[in-house]
Amino acid sequence: MNKFYLSSLLAVFVLALIAWVGGPSAPWLFGIVLPYLAVILFVYGVARRVMGWSRSAVPFAIPTTGGQQRSMPWIKQNKIDNPSTHLGVFIRMALEILTFRSLFRNTRMKMTHEGRFSYNLEIFLWLGAIAFHYAFLTTLVRHMRFFLEPVPLCIQAIEAVDSFFRFEISYDAIQFGLPGVYISGIVLLAAVVYLFLRRLFIAKVRYISLAQDYFPLFLIMGIAFTGILMRYFTKVDIAAIKELTMSLVTFKALSFKVPQGIGPLFYVHLAFVSTLLIYFPFSKLMHMGGVFLSPTRNLAANTREVRHVNPWNYPVKVHTYEAYENEFRDKMVEAGLPVDKMPEESAEEEKE
Amino acid sequence: MADETPKPSELLSKIDYHTPSTHWMDVPVNIRKGMYCYASNPKSVEYLGLPNARAWNPIEEDWKLPENWQQILHEGFKERLEKFRSIKVFMDICVRCGACADKCHFFIGTGDPKNMPVLRAELLRSVYRNDFTLMGKLLGRFAGARPMSLAVLKEWWYYLFQCTECRRCSLYCPYGIDTAEITMFGRELLNLLGLNIDWIATPVANCYRTGNHLGIQPHAFKDMLEFFVDDIEEITGVRVEPNFNKKGADILFITPSGDVFADPGTYTCMGYLMLFHFLKEKYGLDVTWSTYASEGGNFGSFTSHETMKRLNAKMYLEAKRLGVKWILGGECGHMWLVINQYMDTMNGPADFLEVPVNPITGTRFDNAASTKMVHLSEFTADLIKHGKLDLKPERNDNKILTFHDSCNPSRGMGMFDEPRYVIKNVANHFYDMPANTIREHTFCCGSGSGLNAGENMEERMAGGLPRANAVKYVHEKYGVNMLACVCAIDRAALPASMAYWVPGMQVTGVTELVANALVLPGEQERTTDLRGEPLPGMEEADE
Amino acid sequence: MNDKKWIVLGLLIFMALFLSPFLYNVVTGAKAAPMPEVVLTEKAKAAKQCVMPTEFMRTEHMQLLDEWRLKVVRSGLRDFTNTEGKTFNMSLSNTCMDCHSNKADFCDRCHNYASVKPYCWDCHIDNPQGETK
């Protein structure tokens, strides 16, 4: 039934096919033009989107307060979830961005037969998300080995940590684990598959999912899968690939002939990555930048202590006390309420 | 009306969390009796000078919209994308992870998937994509875009008035996407076409003219408080003397007019009067009420930012006119969202006021240094902490209490410990509800943001279910019989939802409990509480 | 609004990180860094072909060595017959390094270039024939 994920899957397959066929026959296009184009569009698109956000005003300070406010000294403030200082906001934002703190609060509502409700901790979305993002980041950083020569020690250190668990399968029928297994790649693929499956099998999530929710998942799945395939199974000429990537980042590519012997799988991998970069600024993936700019998180909850200025604050029509008293003066006097002008005074004023 | 509302068991059995097999864009909106509020009275809309005042009916086909309504909406949307970064960012970055889906009380109570906060926002986002994004223009529905149409507009109206702006979803959102902000924005757009509900529009018009939502005129306001003065005298033997519009008083007190008008808020209002009398007799503190600024609540905030500002302006105007030092705010929910996060920005700086200092304890409320408005629970907690109140908490011994954190003071302010501290000092039996339903996780009463009308009882009871369910838990486990709160809409809405879901549960304001325990100078021996119910140990004396 | 400068700053930091491979290489004036030439010893040159074709050896040598290890250590087999029917002793030290006795100029060049750290030399000595250069 769900044409949204099928169409996304199809799009990714078509993309793979094009790169598989096109890559080896037009290596210049797929190995040089496409990645450059992707980087340019990514940089331009992200900058444009973020600057677009920055141009919009923040008229009110509307932090979501997730803990006890600062009031009197003897009441313990929750300085992170209800931050009244810039430091508090910084910590709140850092925890939000680095540990997905709000998502960690997630609960799952359940109705039992007697119409009773329970709200229990639901950790798997958080777990999947955090595994996915950190695995992706590690994978990304690891790939620096293709862009730097000599490879800096810090990158080598990350690789060493990432391949800390030596994991090999060695039988006549199957051999796996050489070169050394990077845990991040496996976790990335597993996490992205999990995120897809939960979209598919949790009815509520399936109901809200759009084609643009499935597409990046398939794309990243494809990236991780082709990466793993190249490293552990079909093998590619890694030195030739590095020659290409180095020529790209040193801008020598234009006068450069794409090395022979780079397998088509690499072009699929590269096309996926390029597509992701191009797609990024126009999609929900911009949550990477947006999370920094969410006014419910990045503002201090000291709104009664420090005045927040609205740049477009404009005067509005109000019903003044004078107009109010004019309407009700007689009744007010009769009821013994104080008035600014006695009825005689105001009557005289009207005459004048 | 009441007989048309389904019974609790019927309502429960109606809840179906299964999602339809058709895509949500293809499920047409069904504006159902009991689930919507009546359209705004054209007189109220006209009085405020808001657009498109006319009589209309939501269940009729023709909503009598201006001819160029689509253009008005588009322009309005565009203008607000520049004015509110929140909206622009929230439109762009939702990843539809679904964390918010089961956090909304209306979703829990109805099972309607469009009450999942994410879908409520998608109703607007889909049009945003169509009108303002490249992907939406290129890929249409595959990018989640759809053009604006009358059916979409009706869907907006129906579901934007099934959100109480409680912000619970925002707490769990990894990007802090706040559906309250989206609903405020959406309702502002609807108001451009004159699509408000009367339970909001008429209180706003009243408030603009008379100073309060109920349209109580100054002399009547004084009369009503004087009724309470009589009642208080009967119970305590002490005649309290409230000040009205008194120039040169120390403090201006503003509370929602609901407390003046309807039980059980009235008992809370008596509590205010007694507390201020005590402070005046004992410490000489001079507190004045205002008939001009006689409303704490701000239904304008459910209309548009401009209307919110127009109504809120009265607080500072009156404080300035009366020459008070600072303002004390009563027990109200969204009033405190407006005061805490909007008032100073909209109508400040209040440089004619002083940084609030409690003259009795010497406490300086630095957290309110700029807005110069202090919450009554903060003020009372400070008094109790310094031992300035003479209290007999045992007078509340027949009340086994729990506390409902109102949405706005919770997630728009973070006031959790102050009211609890007050309650624990004026009463001896207090039990909190389960942790995932209180404090920042609290559930809405189900009737906030202007939805506590009579004609939408089914909507209100459905929305009130999660709160009631947690109350029921402590009711059965600890015998809790009294639900305390610091919100006038709660005091108006919770009695109905309690009678519906948890019979036997009563609702009280925190200050009512304070006043029950408070020993007034020269009072007679009390035999009843403020409600005329016998005090513990006085049951026989009463007979 | 005074937050625009912070947003721009953040954006610049992000862009600098994202473009760091370009920036780093431009700033350090790095060359294109072509794939290193591996040095073949006289003996290797004379042999003309390794145990398998060069293309295969380039990408699959680790796999082959893994297979050899499995057969030698687990099954006690010693003979490897390639596609052309030639038989070799499955031994890193005695077969591979008999020709490729120049680990630094043969193995290490590519491994360093691609930042690969094989664990062969955890057990095997890297100069089994004790040759001096």
Residues B358-367: tens digit of each pLDDT = 999 999 999 9
Residues 6+ positions from C128 with CB-CB distance below 8 Å: C93, C94, C97
A135 and A265 in a single domain? The answer is: yes
Distance of CA B512 to the CA centre of its chain: 18
Least CB–CB distance from A64: residue in B82, B108, B167: B167
Q: Which amino acid is at A262?
A: I
- Of A274, A293, A312, the last residue of a domain is A293
Residues A96 and A210 in one domain: yes
Task: Dump pLDDT digits (tens) for C65-81.
Answer: 988 999 999 899 999 99
Exposure string (b/e) for B244-269, b if CB count within 10 Å is 16 or more?
A: bbbeebbbbbbbbbbbbbeebbbbbb
Cβ-based contacts under 8 A for chains A and B: 324
First to last CA, chain A: 79
At residue B543 the predicted structure's pLDDT band, cuts being 50, 70 and 90, is very low
Q: Mean pLDDT, to the nearest integer, of C47-74?
A: 90
Identify whether residues A236 and A95 lie together within a single domain: yes
Q: Which residues of C touch A239 (CB under 8 A)?
A: 35-36, 58, 110, 113-114
Q: Looking at residue A174, what is its pLDDT?
A: 83
Is any Cβ of chain B less than 8 angstroms from the Cβ of A323? Answer: no
B474 Cβ contact list (under 8 Å, min separation 6): B402, B431, B432, B433, B480
Asked whether residue A192 falls in the same domain as residue A148, the answer is yes
| Residues of C with Cβ-Cβ distance to A235 under 8 angstroms | 59-60, 63
Structural domain includes residue A311: no
pLDDT on residue A1: 45
Contact yes or no for B414 and A206 at CB 8 A: no
Q: With an 8 Å Cβ cutoff, are C70 and A172 in contact?
A: yes
Q: Residue A36 belongs to what domain range?
A: 3-293
Query: What does the alpha-carbon distance between residue B395 and residue B377 come to, in Å, rounded to a whole number?
Result: 20
Say if A106 falls within a structural domain. yes
For the ranges A331-345, B115-129, C27-41, the lowest mean pLDDT is seen at C27-41
Structural domains in chain A (count): 2
Number of A/C CB contacts below 8 angstroms equals 116
Q: Give me the mean pLDDT over the B70-92 stretch.
A: 96
Asked if A283 has any chain B CB less than 8 Å from its own CB, the reply is: yes
Tell me, yes or no, whether A305 lies in a domain: no
Same domain, C44 and C109: yes
Interface of A with C in 178-207 (CB under 8 A): 178-180
Check: CB of residue B470 under 8 Å from CB of residue B434.
Answer: yes
- Please indicate, yes or no, whether residues C39 and C17 belong to a single structural domain of this protein: no
Give me the residue label for tokens 């409902």.
B404
For residue C133, what pLDDT is reported? Answer: 42
At residue A126, what is the residue type?
Answer: W
Average pLDDT rounded to a whole number, residues B327-345: 96
What's the average model confidence in pLDDT over B434-460? 94
Q: Which helix (H) or strand (E) holds A43?
A: helix A34-55
CA distance linking residue A322 with residue A341, whole number of Å = 9
Please give the average per-residue pLDDT across B146-160, as a whole number.
96
Q: C122: domain range?
A: 35-133
- Show Cβ contacts of residue B214 under 8 Å, excluding neighbours closer than 6 positions: B203, B206, B257, B258, B260, B261
pLDDT value, residue A257: 72
The answer to whether the beta carbons of residues B178 and A102 sit under 8 Å apart is no
Taking a C-beta distance cutoff of 8 angstroms, is the pair B24, A204 a contact? no
- The CA distance from A207 to A197, in Å, is 13
B-chain residues near A75 (CB < 8 A): 381, 417-418, 421
CATH code for the domain in which residue A107 is found: 1.20.950.20
Contact: A305, B367; criterion CB under 8 Å: yes
Residues A216, A346 share a domain: no
- Which chain A residue is nearest to residue B10, measuring alpha carbons? A115
Give which of A121, A200, A304, A312 to mutate to test B binding, by max B Cβ within 10 Å: A304
Tokens describing residue C131: 């040759």
In the stretch 224-253 of chain A, residues with CB closer than 8 A to chain B read none
CB A72 to CB B385 under 8 A? yes
A141 is a domain residue: yes
Q: Is A24 a domain residue?
A: yes
Rounded to the nearest integer, the mean pLDDT of chain C is: 87
> Which amino acid is present at B236?
T
Least confident stretch, A264-278, B59-73, B490-504, C72-86: C72-86
Which A residues 256-285 touch C at CB under 8 Å?
256, 259, 261
Q: How many domains does chain C have?
A: 2
Show pLDDT as tens, one digit a residue, over chain A (352 residues): 477 888 899 999 999 999 999 988 898 899 999 999 999 999 999 999 999 999 999 999 999 999 999 999 999 999 999 999 999 999 999 999 999 999 999 999 988 877 789 898 899 999 999 999 999 999 999 999 999 988 999 999 999 999 988 888 888 788 888 888 999 999 999 999 999 999 999 999 999 999 999 999 999 999 999 999 999 988 888 988 998 999 899 888 666 677 777 889 999 999 999 999 999 999 999 999 999 999 999 999 999 999 999 999 999 999 999 999 999 999 999 999 999 998 887 777 766 6
Q: Is residue A309 part of a domain?
A: no
Which chain C residue is nearest to residue A160, measuring alpha carbons?
Answer: C117
Is A54 in contact with C18 (Cβ distance < 8 A)? no
Question: Is 90 exceeded by the pLDDT of residue C30?
Answer: no
Nearest chain C residue (CA) to A277: C18
- Say how far apart CA A29 and CA A24 lie, in whole Å: 10
Nearest to C11 among A50, A57, A249 (CB): A50
Region B497-501: what's the mean pLDDT? 95
Same domain, A44 and A139: yes
Whether the CB of C24 is below 8 Å from some CB of chain A: the reply is yes
User: Does residue A80 sit in the same domain as residue A201?
Assistant: yes
Q: Are residues A279 and A325 in the same domain?
A: no
Note whether B244 contacts A: Cβ–Cβ < 8 A: yes
CB-based contact C67 A237, cutoff 8 Å:
no
Same domain, C129 and C100: yes
CB contacts of A59 in chain C (<8 Å) are none
Q: What is the pLDDT of residue B1?
A: 44
Task: Name the band, by pLDDT with cuts 50, 70 and 90, for residue C132.
Answer: very low
Under DSSP, is residue B17 helix (H, G, I), strand (E, B) or coil? coil
In a domain, A70, yes or no: yes
CB neighbourhood size of B297 (10 A): 29
Chains with 3+ CB–CB pairs under 8 A to C are A
Q: Are residues C54 and C18 in the same domain?
A: no
Q: How far apart are CA B309 and CA A87, in angstroms?
A: 31
- Asked whether residue A313 is assigned to any structural domain, the reply reads no
pLDDT tens for C101-117 read: 888 899 999 999 999 98
- Grade residue B261 by pLDDT with cuts at 50, 70 and 90: confident
Q: What is the pLDDT of residue C28?
A: 85
* Amino acid C130: pLDDT: 63
Query: In degrees rounded to 5, what are phi and psi of residue A36?
Result: -60, -45
Question: Which residue, B531, B530, B479, B471, is CA-closest to B497?
Answer: B471
Residue C114, token pair as written in the block:
């691609």
Among the three residues A273, A293, A313, which one is the final residue of a domain in this structure? A293
Question: What is the phi/psi pair of residue C88, to 5°?
Answer: -130, 155
pLDDT of residue A350: 67
Residue A198 tokens, joined: 């939960």
Judgement on whether residues C57 and C100 belong to the same structural domain of the protein: yes
Residue A256's pLDDT is 66
Tell which wins on pLDDT, B2 or A186.
A186
Specify the residue for token string 């929602």. B256
Note whether C25 and C48 are same-domain residues: no
In a shared domain, residues C118 and C58: yes
Give the C-alpha separation, B336 to C108, whole Å. 69
Q: In chain A, which residues have their Cβ closer than 8 Å to the Cβ of C25?
A: 147-148, 246, 249-250
- pTM, entire model: 0.93
Please tell me the distance in Å from B7's CA to the nearest CA on chain A.
13
> Predicted ipTM?
0.93
* Cβ pair B381:A207 closer than 8 A: no
Is there a contact between B192 and B73 (Cβ–Cβ < 8 Å)?
yes
Which residues from C are below 8 Å from A46, CB to CB?
Answer: 11, 14-15
Percent of chain C topping pLDDT 90: 38
Two tokens, residue C106: 């043969």
A286 touches chain C (CB under 8 A): no
Q: Are residues C40 and C89 in the same domain?
A: yes
User: From the CB of residue A174, how many other CB atoms can be counted at a distance below 10 Å?
Assistant: 8
Shared-domain flag, residues A236 and A330: no
Q: Which of A67-76, A239-248, B243-252, B409-418 has the lowest mean pLDDT?
A: A239-248
